[in-house]
Structure 1
Amino acid sequence: MKNIFEVLLERSRLLVILIITIALLGVYTFLTIENREIPEVEVNIINITTPWPGADRADVETNITNVIESDIFGIDGIDTVSSVSQDDISVVTMELTDEAEPDQVENDINNLVGQVSGDLPENAAQPQVESVSNAFPLLSYIFQSENGEGLEDLRNQVDDLALDVTQMDGVSDVTIKGYDDRTVNIDLDREALEENQITPDQIIQEIDQSFNPVILGSQVEDDENIRLSFESMAPLETFESIRIGDDDTLLTDIASIELTADEREDIIEHNGEEAVSFTVFLSPGEDVPSTSESVEAVVSEHTDQFDENISVTTISSERENVEDIFVGLYTSLLLALVAVIIGTSLGLSFIGSAVVMITVILSIFIGLIPLPWLGVDLNQISVIGLIIALGILVDDSIVVNDNIERRLSVGDSKRDAMYNGMKEVAPSVIASTLAIVLAFSPLLLLSGANGEFIRALPSILITTIIVSTILAIFLVPALRYLMPVKNISENAGIFGKAFTGLSNWYADRMLPKFIRRPVITFSIVLVIGLLSLGLVRFTPFEFFPEADRSEVTVDVLFDDGQTIEETHERTGDIVDYLGENIDNLEGVTRFTGSGLPNLFGASLDQSGEHTAQIALYIDKEVMSASEVIDTYEADLREEFPEAKIFMDTIVQGPPEGAPVTLDVYNQDLGLLEESLETFREGLESEGAVVTSNMGEPVDTVKYAIDQEALEDAELSVSQVKNELNLLGQGIPVQEIIVEDEQVESTMKYSGEYDLEDIDIIKFSGEEPETFPLADFVDLEETNEYQTIAHDNGDRQVSMEVYNLEENEVGEIVDGLSGDLNDSTEIVVGGESTDQTDFFVEIGVLFAVIVVLVYLVIAFEFNSLVLPLVIVFSIFLSISGGFIGLFVTQTPLSFMGVMGMVSLAGIVVRNAVVLVDFIEARRKDGNFVINEAIIESGRARMRPILLTTITTIIALLPVALGGDPLFEPLAITIIAGLAFSSVLSLIVTPSLYMIYYRIKYKD
């Protein structure tokens, strides 16, 4: 080993050049790696969507949803399956396991769909398999006309802009809201049909044939192939030229054909004026700033061509958010770097401090190299990881450098000082690094969105710490070997004399007292630690804090059944109320219908004509988003009791679910709906606001077909259903192109006809027979839900409950459950349960971490008992973390818990270094145990204090920066490290003395 090390020392310049070259690759990685606000969370969800126009929910469930679900569970990689069967459509949603390969699972699902398609109804559309993307909004614009006119004329230009932007690298999709889809309506004249003896089926068949492509192929003339083509007519002209029946009756003689606006899906309004929204979505794994700049350039190029009366407003820019956040984070990173430089210079010589800083900076850049292969980009979490790493990385370099200087001060030659200085501390440095790596590694296994959110932190800490240890062992001696050796003072550093004096005072005055009565010393520290844990009851709790943003969203849900125009009008009253009462309101955008295009972390799970979302832009300097919600949400609900209203803002973490959920299972649909009504009424009577995946019951006219009457008339059910379809929404017949836009065409009876006017025509002889449609259909007015939901194949209703705590909901549900059928299964959960599950999981992982750290130290010292002396410092760090949160009244949060888990790996290093020195002196046999412990304190106090001080100073900018997401993390680590370092200097020697007396009592 020594020979290899000496060879490296002889080639120190080459070694330094090699490491700097590798670091340049890290610089390139830093400059080119993707930037985003928060970590990208993988969305492993696949939907199978099957439209069946005209079918009711029960038919959809029986003939489509159940058919698909019966085979879908056999596909590997699927975790859960849920479905919704509604009038006209079935949607089956599959959530994949964390280990699944999404592309493979999607391929298996496509194969399955191909196999079951033949079992689906003939008039149902082909099922569409779609993987739900985790693309998120990059930019969102509002287009408005100053005089209220011109937006419709702008449509083609907006479509051209969307086409150009969609084709750009890094762009996943573009969503345009505010324009109505168009359709070609073929309104049949029933009397003309009867007069010309034409059936709707004949018309559909002729339309299909008229729009089928013409295949002419080619012909040979004079030994030359001549291509033959057909000049197509414009689609509307094609409709007008279609002839039907024996008399070649023109379609225009028996129907009116008109291109009209379809039923509206969205009405957009910005600051009281009609608008069109244009939202660009970023593809997964793409860089936010560079993609945004490219998109902005294209948008600017197009909008410059808009009429002068068209205004363009940016309502959301992810690039601006990222730049604002990264300015603050990079400032904190720079301050942390300066703080570390200052911290190391306090107790090291100028040369030693410079070597440490060079090693730390190179460790950071080299540690960045593997990140793209680990699926980590630069975001808030990874940059904070770099800041934490700065404070940890100095430890190895300080310990090695300080020991080299100690060897030089005792008279070793330059080469021997490099080797002996490294050799003495290398085992403890490697062991403590392994402990840190093993402490952070289980965090990579944290499941769900929380695991994906935090994964960047352990990834970047593990890579940089491994690199730091390697460089501390090889680069630090190489750099010190290249530098001239000057007289090394034991008082090196700005406060070197103070460190020396403190070390001597600790070794000569305090340690003898601690180790003289080690049991009493340990007991006092243990009591202090246990009492500190009790402070958790007096510490506020907040799982994820709100982001410091200016947007508040308002979800508005009215009863099903009203038109989108009525919803828009009634939502306008809410906007007026907000404008009159919120003093710091700077702007409002209203999205009636399908809601916001996933802006500001908001979207509607079940949208329709009865729903709307409002985006409020507030002056956060006057009142924060959470204060606006706390002040006005209850007043809004009281002022507008006919609507369900929810106010929310962006949270700095993965999307959260409902505060409380209530899932009810029963295969009997009637009993399930009764249970929903029972629980809804009981919860709402206690002040809860309740929504469900089945929505609200709506007034319904139910059509029942008289089978006996059909048999007597020798007619089929399909004939009746076709006539009813023609009276209702109509039958889709052909998709055409109008002005470069795909437009559907629908055939139905004109609005002047109703059930009593329609006869079923039967061509069974020379003269057609007619039968009144009303003779075969019975009408019943009822109140009915529109949805049937499944969870893993079982019928289920899921309720979201607001305004009540989970325990209150549980008590109410328990009280009502006695009135339900015994076959009904009930599960109460929600945000609180999810958080409990997280703490259980992190508790298990923390136990694994402690065991792994213990095993590493056990291997290092070849002892099963001695590691317990070191592991006790983890307990002290947790106690210190709670003290820090309590004193500052900082909420215990997700990141605070991450800080405590991080401490498990960080704090053991000081104890390892201290115990390692004691063991080395004990084995030498030149010291009695008391002297070995005292000398260990004298030799190791300086590096322990230096590493603690530099880590604390590095994290101070984060702790004082005001970011509610990272304050708990920084405060927990600072307080835990300070508390543990001070008490470890007291209790570790005492515990070692207890261990020594027991083990070597003879």
Structure 2
Amino acid sequence: MKKLADILLKRSLLFIVLIFTVSVVGVYTFLTIDQREIPETEVNLINVITAWPGADKDDIEENVTNIIETEMFSISDIEDVSSVSEDNVSVLTLSLSDGSTPDNVLNDVNNLVQSISGDLPENAAQPEVESITNAFPLLSYQIHSDSFENLEAVRGDVESLKQEIIQMNGVDSVTIKGYRESAYEIQLDWDALAEEQLNPNEIMNEIDLSLSPVILGQDVEDEEIIRLAFEDETALETLEQVRVGENKVPLLDIASIESVESTPDDIVQYNGSDAISFTVFLSSGEDVPSVSENIEAVINDGFDSMPDNVTVDNISSERENVEDIFVGLYTSLLIAVIAVIIGTSIGLSLFGSITVMVTVLISIFIGFIPIPLIGVDLNQISVIGLIIALGILVDDSIVVNDNIERRFTLGESKGDAIYNGVKEVAPSVIASTAAIVFTFSPLLFLSGANGDFIKALPSILISTMIVSTVLALTFIPAMRQVIPVRKVPKHPGLLGKVFTWGSRIYADKVLPKVLKRPLLTFLAILIVTLLSVGLVRFTPFEFFPEADRSEVTIDLIFDEGQTIEKTHEDTQEILDHLLSEMDHVKGSSIFTGDGLPNLFGASLDQSGENTAQIALQIDKEKMSASATIDEYEEPLRDAFPDAKIFMSTIIQGPPASAPITVEFFEDDLETLREETAALTEQLEESGDIVTSSIGSPVETLQYSIDYDALEENGISISQVKNELNMISEGIPMQEIIEDGSSKELSLKYADEFNLDNVDIVNIEDGRPEMYPLSDFVTVSETEDTPAIQHKNGERTAELQVYAADEAATESLINEFSDGLDGSTELIVGGESSDQTDFFVEIGILFSVILILVYLVIAFEFNSLVLPLIIVFSIFLAISGGIIGLFVTQTPISFLGIMGMVSLTGIVVRNAIVLIDFIEMRRKDGSVDDIYTAIYESGRARFKPIILTTVTSILALIPVAFSGDVLFEPLAVTVIAGLAFSTLLSMVATPALYYFYYKFRYEKKK
């Protein structure tokens, strides 16, 4: 050890240059690391979508969903399989297990889908497999005009801009909402068909042949290859030339070709005008500012060329959000750096404080080097991690530097003072750092979105702490070696005399009184600590706070079966009512149908023609988003009772589920529908708002086939189903290309033909026989849900419950569950349950943390009892954090809990340093009795303990007063916990050590 120290001190200058060189890499990493507002949360989901046009949900479930679903369980890395079977489509959502490789699973799913596609119905489309990414909106624009025709006129330009943006680096996708699609229908005249003795199958075959491309290949003439080409007409011109049947009847004699507007997926409106939404999504792991600047340049050029009758407004820019947030965070970081400089200068000499400050900054930069390698970028959490790290990192440097200067004051030579000063505190410094590392390491294993959200904090603290400890034991000695000044002022620091006076008061007056009545002292502190825990009941709770933003979104759910046009009309009425009541709205958008393109943290879980979202831009100086929701949500629900209305704003955390969710598992569909409807009715009668994953029952016309009549008349089932398709949605055919884009084509009977005036033609003995379709089909009115949902192969339905009184609602649900028969399983979850699960998980992790910290200290002191004294300071810190939150009425939150966990590692170092000094004095025989050892330990360690605590608090004060509701609970918790723990542990630790000494040593005498 001595040889290594000598080598380091002899090459101090070279070592310092090396450290500064490495720190340059850290500075580069800090300046170039990807920036974003919040940490990315991993989304390990895969969708398998299978379309089967014309099939109802029951056929979809039996012939598509069940087949694909059964096979998916064979892939080992798939944890859960959920599915929704609706008319025309099956959607499977696969949840991947933790630790799986998404690309490998995606490949396995694709291979499996290919292998089973032959088992699916002939008319079903090839299943589409897509990985759901965690891409989030980078930029969003509203392209609006007084006339929708003006928007249609620039459609080609908008589509071209989309293709250009998609090809740019860092772009995941581009979403355009608001345009309406058109299609072509060949509407057959059934009477004309009957007169010409034609059937739809003949027409379909002829159309398919006419639209199929001509493959001529090539020819060879005189040993020269000649390419053969075919000049075709447009699809519509080709259809007009189609001839059908033996008599070559022109298609237009028996049908008309109509251009029809498809039901739009979205209707978008901005400030009362028709609009098109244009949103760019960022790829995973990309830098927000740099990617955004490149895209904005291209988009601005594209939009500048728009005609004067079309206006483009930017309604969301992630770059602006990031820049605004980072200005505040960097200001707090700069203030924290200044605070740390001031904190170190008040108790250390000029050279000492400079050495400590340089060491701390270098620790941060070098500690930042591995951060991108572990998947952490620069975001709100990582910057706060840096601010906390600033306050913690000074501990090692202050302790080492202060002890070296103390050795100088004892008259030792420079080499001996440096060596002995480091050697004396190295064990306690290493042990306290190990305790911090073991404190934050379990947080890396926090599961789910909460774990992804907080990952940056422990990552940065662990990395910088390890670097800080290494530099404190190497870089500081090297710096002290090259500094020519060896003499240290008698009272170093701006407040050196104050620290000297304080250490004397503490050692000569406080500690003697403590040791005179150690039991009384400890019991008094214990009572205060236990009583403080009860303050939790009187402290507000908010798991993740609302952001201080100017966006308010309103989710609207109307009755199932309502057309999208009616939904848009009703939504407009609600918006008009709001605008008449609110005087602080600066802008508004309506997204009817699928809803917002994931803007402002808002999206619709079950979107459709009966859903819409309103996005309000408010003047938050007049009224905050949360106050707006509190004032207007209930009156809006009262004014429009037919709609389910939810007002929300951006939450600073991972997406949350409904407050209460209720999952039903029941194989019998009728029972499942009845039970979900019954519970929904009870909940709504109690005043709760309930939504269902399978939708509410809607009016349904049920077609039933008389199979006996079919057999009696020799009619096939396919004939009946084919006729039913022709009088309803029609039969889809191959798409046609028009103006460079594809349009759907379908074949159906004209609207005047229905069940009552269509006959089935059957050939008997060479003669056509006509049978009314109504002879084989009966129609009944009923109610049915629009979807069938599965979870891991079982039929299920989920209710999302928004309750005013969650306890009463849970009691009602439990009572309902008790009355169910044995075949139905009911599981209650939701945000409240998720939070409970989090507290259970964090409780387990905290237990692991305590065990790890205990083992580190036990190893350091070679004792099983002594660590209990040090661990007691953790409970002092937690109680102090609770007191701080209560006094300031700062909500207990996710980050407040993280602050309490952080205190676990931070506060033990004071007790370790104090006890380590007592143990050294006791063992080396330099003191006469245990009293003197405790007094001298207090005298020597008073300044570094107080100095590190004050410096840590100063670093966090800017955050505590920043007004950032996300980080205030963390800052208040750490500040109060540090202050409370430091003051009380400096009393409780000597008292407990005194008991330990009496029991451990004097008892043996």
**TM, length-normalised to structure 1:** 0.98
Counterparts of 2:243 and 2:9 in 1: how far apart (Å)? 95
Residue aligning to 2:85: 85
2:176 corresponding residue in structure 1: 176
Report the 3-state secondary structure (helix = DSSP H, G, I; strand = E; otherwise coil) of the residue aligned with 1:771: strand
1:968 corresponds to which residue?
969
Would you say the 8 A contact 1:137–1:281 is kept in 2?
yes
Query: What is the CA-CA distance between 1:605 and the residue it aligns to?
Result: 1.2
Query: Offset at 1:764?
Result: 5.5
| Structure 1, 409-418 or 454-463: larger mean CA deviation | 409-418
Letter aligned with residue 315 of structure 1 = I
Closer, same or farther: CA 940–88 of 1 in aligned 2, 3 Å = same
Residue 467 of structure 2: aligned partner: 467
After superposition, residues 267-346 of structure 1 pair within 5 angstroms as 267-346=267-346
For residues 83-162 of structure 1, the aligned pairs below 5 Å read 83-146=83-146, 149-162=149-162
What is the CA distance between 1:244 and its match in structure 2? 3.0
Cα distance in 2 for partners of 1:944, 1:414 equals 24
Q: CA deviation at 1:818?
A: 5.6
- Cα displacement (A) at 1:817: 4.2
Which residue pairs with 1:999 in the alignment? 1000
Contact 2:147–2:274 (8 Å) recurs in 1: no
What residue number does 2:570 align with? 570
Q: Which segment drifts farther, 665-674 or 347-356?
A: 665-674
Specify the alignment match of 1:666 in structure 2. 666
Aligned counterparts of 1:233 and 1:997: Cα–Cα separation in 2: 104
* Structure 1, 168-177 or 118-127: larger mean CA deviation: 118-127
1:74 CA drift (Å): 2.4
CA-to-partner distance for each residue in 1:734-773, whole Å, 9 max, x for gaps? 1222222222211111112111222222345533333221
**More displaced 10-residue stretch of structure 1: 611-620 or 71-80:** 71-80
- CA drift of 1:254 comes to 2.7
The offset of 1:148, in angstroms, is: 6.1
CA distance in 2, matches of 1:864, 1:234: 88
Which residue number in structure 2 is paired with residue 379 of structure 1?
Answer: 379
Q: 1:277 to 1:519 in 2, by over 3 A?
A: same
CA distance in 2, matches of 1:466, 1:239: 75
Distance 2:926 2:541 in 1: 53
Q: Which moved more, 1:837-846 or 1:232-241?
A: 232-241
The farther-off stretch of 106-115 and 364-373 is 106-115
Deviation at 1:514, TM superposition (A): 1.3
Q: CA deviation at 1:807?
A: 2.1
> What is aligned with 1:698?
698
Matches within 5 A, 1:751-766: 751-763=751-763, 765-766=765-766
Separation (CA, whole Å) in 2 of partners of 1:770 and 1:22: 90
Distance (Å, rounded) in 2 between the aligned partners of 1:233 and 1:919: 97
Superposition pairs of residues 234-633 of structure 1, within 5 angstroms:
234-633=234-633
Once the two structures are superposed, residues 775-803 of structure 1 have per-residue CA deviations (whole angstroms, 9 ceiling, x without a partner) of: 11111111211111112221111111113
- Kept in 1: contact 2:585–2:616 (CA 8 A): yes
Residues 908-950 of structure 1, C-alpha deviation per residue, up to 9 Å, x if partnerless? 1111111111111111012122111111111111111111000
Contact residue 678 and residue 816 of structure 1 kept, 8 A = no
Aligned residue in 1 for 2:941 = 940
The CA distance in 2 between the partners of 1:465 and 1:721, in whole Å, is 72
1:476 to 1:711, Cα distance in 2 relative to 1, 3 A:
same
Code of the aligned partner of 2:581: N
Query: Separation in 1 of the partners of 2:803 and 2:797?
Result: 20
Match of 1:956 in 2: 957
SS in 2 for 1:152: helix
- The residue that corresponds to 1:651 in the other structure is 651
Distance 1:341 1:673 in 2: 67
Secondary structure of 2:152's partner? coil
Give 1:233 deviation, angstroms. 3.5
- Structure 2 CA distance for partners of 1:764 and 1:409, relative to 1, 3 Å: farther
Secondary structure at the aligned position of 1:106 is classed as helix
What code does the residue aligned with 2:419 have? Y
Which range moved further: 338-347 or 778-787? 778-787
Displacement, 1:237?
2.7
Q: CA deviation at 1:639?
A: 0.6
- Opposite residue 978 of structure 2, the aligned amino acid is L
- Once the two structures are superposed, residues 377-433 of structure 1 have per-residue CA deviations (whole angstroms, 9 ceiling, x without a partner) of 000000000000000011111111111111111122112222111111111111111
The 1-side partners of 2:805 and 2:101 are apart by 38
SS in 2 for 1:543: coil
Change (3 A) 1:11 1:252: farther
CA distance in 1, matches of 2:858, 2:764: 94
Distance 1:264 1:956 in 2: 53
Aligned equivalent of 1:744: 744
* CA–CA separation in structure 2 for the residues paired with 1:412 and 1:220: 102
Contact preservation (8 Å) 2:414, 2:486 = no
Contact 1:788 1:795 survives alignment (8 Å): yes
2:792 corresponding residue in structure 1: 792
Taking structure 1 as reference, are residues 909 and 772 closer, same or farther at Cα in structure 2, changes over 3 Å only? same
Letter of the 1:932 counterpart? A
Give the 3-state SS of the residue equivalent to 2:879 in structure 1. Answer: helix
Whole-angstrom CA distance in 2 between matches of 1:923 and 1:214: 99
Look up the equivalent residue of 2:316 and give its one-letter code: S
| Amino acid paired to 2:338 | V
SS at match of 1:130: strand
Root-mean-square deviation (CA, aligned residues, Å) is 1.5
Deviates more, 1:949-958 or 1:503-512: 503-512
In structure 2, the residue corresponding to 1:745 is in which secondary structure? strand
Query: Once the 2 structures are TM-superposed, how far is the Cα of residue 508 of structure 1 from its aligned partner?
Result: 1.1
Q: Does the 8 A contact of 2:803 with 2:809 survive in 1?
A: no
Counterpart amino acid of residue 109 in structure 1: V
Give the Cα separation in 2 of the matches to 1:19 and 1:488. 26
Match of 2:321, as an amino acid? N
Partners of 1:468 and 1:235 lie apart in 2 by 73
The alpha carbon displacement at 1:224 in A equals 3.7
- The Cα of 1:177 is off from its aligned counterpart by 1.1
TM-score, scaled to structure 2: 0.98
SS for the counterpart of 1:962 is: coil
Residue 553 of structure 1: how far off its partner (Å): 0.7
2:146, 2:274 within 8 Å by CA — same for their partners in 1? Answer: no
Tell me what 2:987 maps to: 986
Moved more, 223-232 or 460-469: 223-232
| Amino acid in the other structure paired with 1:617 | Q
Show the 5 A alignment for 1:848-867.
Answer: 848-867=848-867
One-letter identity of the residue aligned with 2:488: I
Query: Shift of the alpha carbon at 1:478?
Result: 0.7
Aligned to 1:801: 801
Please say which of residues 987-996 and 186-195 is displaced more in the overlay.
186-195
The letter of the residue matching 1:105 is V
**Is the partner of 1:420 in helix, strand or coil?**
helix
Question: How many residues align structurally?
Answer: 1002
Deviations 1:487-512 (CA, angstroms, capped at 9, x unpaired) = 21231000001101111111111112
**1:671–1:821 Cα contact (<8 Å) kept:** no
- Distance of 1:30 and 1:738 partners within structure 2: 52
3-state SS of 1:175 partner:
strand
Q: C-alpha distance in 2, partners of 1:305/1:792?
A: 52
Amino acid at match of 2:996: Y
Distance in 2 between residues matched to 1:765 and 1:924, nearest whole Å: 119
Q: Any conservation in 2 of the 1:900–1:972 contact (CA below 8 Å)?
A: yes
Deviation for aligned residue 1:146: 4.5
Instruction: Give me the identity figure in percent.
Output: 61
- Contact kept in structure 1, 2:880 and 2:980, CA below 8 Å: yes
Structure 2, unmatched stretches of 5+, are none
**In 2, distance between residues paired with 1:820 and 1:423?**
70
Q: Determine the C-alpha separation between the residues in 2 that align with 1:474 and 1:805.
A: 59
